[in-house]
Amino acid sequence: MQLYHHPYSIDSQRVRLALEEKGIDYTSFHLNPVTGKNMNASFFRMNPSATLPVFQNGDHKIFKTIEIIQYVERIASVSSGIENVTFSGREVTEWMQRIQEWNPKFFTLAHIPDKYFRSASKFLRRVLMARMEESPDLAGAYHSKLQDVYDTEDKLKNSSVVIQDKEHLIRLLDEVEQQLNETPYLAGEEFTMADVMLIPVLARLVLLNLEDEYIGSRPNTAKYWIMVQQRPSYKKVIGNHFSGWRKYRTLMKTWCAIHIRSILRRF
């Protein structure tokens, strides 16, 4: 089994958390979307949307996060050999879908210093143009992705887009806070795949230095956040890349790659 992913991708984090929680072994392939590694022709032919993650088991490929997690649950059930294993129920699935509805893209980009966003966006445009030259048969698909980059730049200039995403996030976190007032985990007394979906959202807020505003102001969520950070899956999937000084190492590695490749014109 192979997983194409990257620590920057919230959906990648969700799938990796699920794999770690279920104890499933897999082969890991890192594709940094900020440096355009997900635009390499070999991956792009497999997944023209270039989205992460992608889970592959033999010839079977899955591109949607919740579907991957549900597939992982089935694999864990077969591997355990235990009959009548309970999969994510209706309440868990509803929470998963509700959390998935919030797209972190524009909210995240709006909180990144403008100079870094502009440099990364310019670099990605050059990557796409280079890939078009290398793979003429994919030029149409690459051109579509290039237009997406321009559209993203334009949408970020529209404050209403970011405001809508922020309001959506606040509604979601308020619902989470209310639920955590009743149960220790999002869907009850035990950790479930609903928590797997939520944890990366909270981790993203911390990465953007927004913990006090969005987590600390909600006491039940703050208590929950402290608790889930103790899980081995969190420490391996997110903590190793973004806890404390590690986040500077992770971010600096990407920024240096963009800067050096831009100077050398190696796109």
Q: 3-state DSSP call for residue 201?
A: helix
Domain that holds residue 67: 2-264
Which residues of the chain are under the pLDDT cut of 70?
81-87
What's 60's domain CATH number?
Answer: 1.20.1050.130
CA distances from 72 to 24, 60, 138, 197, 223 (A): 8, 13, 32, 14, 28
Report which DSSP code applies to 111: T
- The residue count of the chain comes to 267
pLDDT at 89: 87
What's the number of domains the chain is made of?
1
pTM: 0.94
pLDDT, one tens digit per residue, over 162-220 is 999 999 999 999 999 999 999 999 999 999 999 999 999 999 999 999 999 999 999 99
Q: Which of 221-226's residues contact partners 24+ apart within 8 Å by CB, and which partners?
A: 221/173, 221/176, 221/177, 221/180, 223/180, 224/180, 224/184, 224/185
CA 209 to chain CA centroid, Å, is: 17
pLDDT at 264: 92
Helix, strand, coil abundance in the chain, percent, nearest 5:
65, 5, 25
Q: What are 131's two structure tokens?
A: 């890939």
Place of tokens 């949607």: 64
